[in-house]
Each structure stands twice: as structure tokens, then as C-alpha cells.
Amino acid sequence: MDTIPKINIKLATERVDGNLIINDNNQPKFYTPGEEVSSQVGYLRGHGTYVDDDECLRASVAGVLEKVNKLISIRPLKTRYQGEIGDVIVGRITEVQQSRWKVDTNSKLDSVLLLSSVNLPGGELRRRSAEDEQTMRRYLQEGDLICAEVQSTYADGSLSLHTRVLKYGKLSQGIMIKVPPALIKRKKTHFHNLPNGATLILGNNGYVFIGANTQNTDRSEGGFTQDLTKVEQEDREVCGRLRNCILILAKSNIQLTDTSVTYAYEESLKYQVSELLQSESILDVSLLTHHRLNQE
């Protein structure tokens, strides 16, 4: 794919504590490795920073500044997902173990989905038996996509997931895309039914799922049923166009929300799906989407 031209948009800025860190749209300033963050004494060095020989605080990674009282840290733009309790994630089963599944969630370590943390088919509430362990592959097996919620974190940083709510469970008939987790903001809802009929799940871990509008929404079987009916050509084109639009937004560092995705989809309708991979159409759609978002 051709290299995407860089978009230069000049924004007004202001100085805080002698440092240029915020523009008038409340967008944080990007720091590069080695750039001076603060020359004042009294600040605490947080993650992503170091102190040089002149006692100046400098960034050790490329990212944005986060300040809590006297603690200054730099949050990297591109990093592995660091989960928090309550996050909605999209993941892929990598291994079936005793009483648990291992899940790839774009974090440093595989996450864990315990057998006791899923709904059994039919919504039964009972203790898990040895028979349930033997039939785990009937529920989820390697390669399956799931949507889950972070229940807790372990001491080593790995995550414990659950799918006890009926909106979570196995995913099918769709496309999964990987984007930087920093582009997905934590919100009350990460499940969206778009006007074009498709469903969109924005996982906090950077995995985005686009589902066709024929997807079965019946979760009475505990979230393990799969709708394998044929997806029509028109629905496949909608999913393909959404996929290219989300990649355009990610390459342009535009935050992914249902609004931004819908705007990009509407601006892309004048192009064929395959044309959205060309640099000219990528630049056009990203600029028009950015302009509409700024008008809100």
C-alpha cells in the first residue's frame, strides 16, 4: 500500500508550567524521545521519563504527557494493551487448558477466561463439574473470536475475563481489525448498531469487530451459538468498506467512535471499496472526516 501523506494541521497552543503541552482543542502535545518535558525541580519522574545530567526531565518514549499533582509521566502512543477492570475487549482463543481458556487480547501476556466465568448453555447456574471440563471445546476452541469484559487483574499483569452478561460471548460472521488501543476511548457502551445495518464492537484492547447485519443476536444459549447463514454480497461490501474506513482513521490518528466511523463511511461512498486503499482517497476521506468532527 502507498504511504499515506502526512496531514499538517496547525493548532493554537498554550504554555503550562513553562511547557508547551496543550492546544486550544484540549488535544495533548506529542513528545518525542529525548525531548525536554520540564526543567523545574520538585516534579516526580513517572513512566516514560528520565532525568538527564542537567536535572531536566525528558521523555524516553514517544507519547503524550499525563500529570497527576507532581507526578509527570509520558503515555506511549503505541504500546501493548494495559487492561483495567470493566474494559470491554475482543479477543481470540489461543489455547484450551484445564478449567480455563487462554485468550489473545493484545496485551503482554495472554488473558484467562475461567470456565466458572462463562454462562453455561441454557443459562444454568450451578457448580462446574468434570463433565463440563471435558466438553469445553464444544463451547469455545482455538481460533474462536469472543467479546468479554475484564473482571480482575493478576499480579503479573495478566487479565481475568468473564462473559456472564448475555451481550458477551462468541463472535461470528464478521471482520476483526487491530488498531492502536490509544485510539479507543473508554465509554459507557462499546457496542454500536450502525445506520448501514452492520454492528461494531470497539474493544478497549485495540481489536475492533465488524459484524454483518445477519448476525444472530439470540444469546439464550449462553453466548456460544454461531450464525453460519450465508452473508449476502451487499452486506459483505458494507463490512469491507467499514474495514477500510477504520484503517484510514487509524492511520490518520483519528479517535475511533461510532460517530467518526459513520462519518468516514459516508464520505467514502463516492469511492469503490478497493479505491479506499489508494493514498488519494485515504487523504480525502481522512480530511473530510476530521473537518466534520471539528464542526460538532
By DSSP bridging, strand 63-68 and strand 30-31 are: antiparallel
Provide the whole-model pTM.
Answer: 0.76
Q: How far apart are CA 254 and CA 202, in angstroms?
A: 14
Does CATH place domain 88-231 in 3.40.140.80?
no
13-76: CATH architecture: Beta Barrel (2.40)
**Average pLDDT of the chain?**
83
Q: How far apart are CA 184 and CA 218, in angstroms?
A: 27
Collect all residues with Cβ–Cβ distance below 8 Å to 193 and sequence separation of at least 6.
199, 200
pLDDT exceeds cutoff 50 at 8? no
What does the pLDDT read at residue 192? 92
Q: How confident is the model at residue 15 (pLDDT cuts 50, 70, 90)?
A: very low
Q: How confident is the model at residue 116 (pLDDT cuts 50, 70, 90)?
A: confident
Q: pLDDT for 155-169, tens place per residue? A: 988 999 999 888 898
Q: How far is CA 172 from CA 15, 58, 63, 109, 276, in A?
A: 49, 46, 35, 24, 25
pLDDT exceeds cutoff 50 at 1? no
By DSSP bridging, strand 71-76 and strand 44-45 are: parallel
Same fold: 13-76 with 88-231: yes
Q: At what angle do helices 279-294 and 258-267 cross, to 10 degrees?
A: 130
Q: How confident is the model at residue 113 (pLDDT cuts 50, 70, 90)?
A: very high
What does the pLDDT read at residue 149? 95
| Cβ–Cβ under 8 Å, residues 247 and 206 | no
Determine phi and psi for 16, rounding to 5 degrees: -125, 125
Instruction: Please give the grid coordinates belonging to residue 29.
Output: 502535545
Q: Which helix (H) or strand (E) holds 17?
A: none
**Range among 56-60, 65-69, 101-105, 118-122 rated most confident:** 101-105
pLDDT exceeds cutoff 70 at 5? no
How far from each other are the two terminal CA atoms of the chain, in whole angstroms? 32
Q: pLDDT for 92-103, tens place per residue? A: 999 999 889 999
Collect all residues with Cβ–Cβ distance below 8 Å to 248 and sequence separation of at least 6.
264, 268, 276, 282, 285, 286, 289
Q: How far apart are CA 108 and CA 112, in angstroms?
A: 13
pLDDT exceeds cutoff 60 at 20? no
For residues 30 and 248, the model is more confident at 248
Q: pLDDT for 201-233, tens place per residue? A: 999 999 999 998 655 545 555 566 666 677 788
Which position has the grid cell 507532581? 70
The full set of domain ranges for the chain reads 13-76, 88-231, 234-294
Q: How far apart are CA 80 and CA 124, in angstroms?
A: 36
Give the per-residue SS3 of 69-110.
Answer: CCEEEEEECCCCCCCCCCCEEEEEEEEEECCEEEEECCCCCC
What does the pLDDT read at residue 77? 74
Q: How far apart are CA 144 and CA 155, in angstroms?
A: 27
